[in-house]
Amino acid sequence: MNNNIIPIEAIRERDIDLLLVEELTVNDEFSKWFVKENNFPKLAQNNGAWRSISDYGLGETDILFSYYSESDKKIFILIENKLDAEFQNQQYERYIKRAQKYVADKKCDESYVILVAPNQYCINQSDFEIYTDYETISDYFYQSASKRAKFKSDLLKIASEKLRRGYQAVNSVPVQRFWLKYWQYKNEHFPQLIMKKPGIVPFNSDWPMLFDNTLKGIVLYHKLSSGHIDATFKGFNNEVKAKLMQKLPENAKFIEHNIDFSIRLITDKCDRTNDFDSQREKVNKGLTKMEFLRQWLIANRKIFK
Q: Cα(first)–Cα(last) distance of the chain, in Å?
A: 59
CA 85 → CA 13, 118, 167, 168, distances in Å? 9, 11, 9, 11
Average pLDDT over residues 9-38: 92
Residue 6 has pLDDT above 90, yes or no: no
**230 near 221, Cβ under 8 Å?**
yes
Q: Tell me the backbone φ, ψ of residue 162, rounded to 5 degrees.
A: -60, -45
Per cent of the chain over pLDDT 90 is 67
pLDDT in tens, 259-275: 789 999 999 999 999 99
CATH number of 13-166: 3.40.1350
Average pLDDT score over the chain: 89
105-164 pLDDT tens trace = 999 999 999 999 998 888 777 788 889 999 999 999 999 878 999 999 989 988 887 655
pTM above 0.85, yes or no: no
**Are residues 286 and 221 in contact, defined by beta-carbon separation less than 8 angstroms?**
no
Based on the number of CB atoms within 10 Å of its own CB, is 165 exposed (0-12), middle (13-18) or buried (19 or more)? Answer: exposed
Name the more confident of 287 and 12. 287
What lies within 8 Å, CB to CB, of 21 at 6+ separation is: 49, 50, 51, 63
Query: Contact, 168 vs 182, CB < 8 A?
Result: no
**What are the Cα distances from residue 17, in Å, to 12, 50, 83?**
9, 9, 10
pLDDT (tens digit per residue) in 25-49: 999 999 999 999 998 999 999 999 9
Cα separation of 246 and 243, whole Å? 5
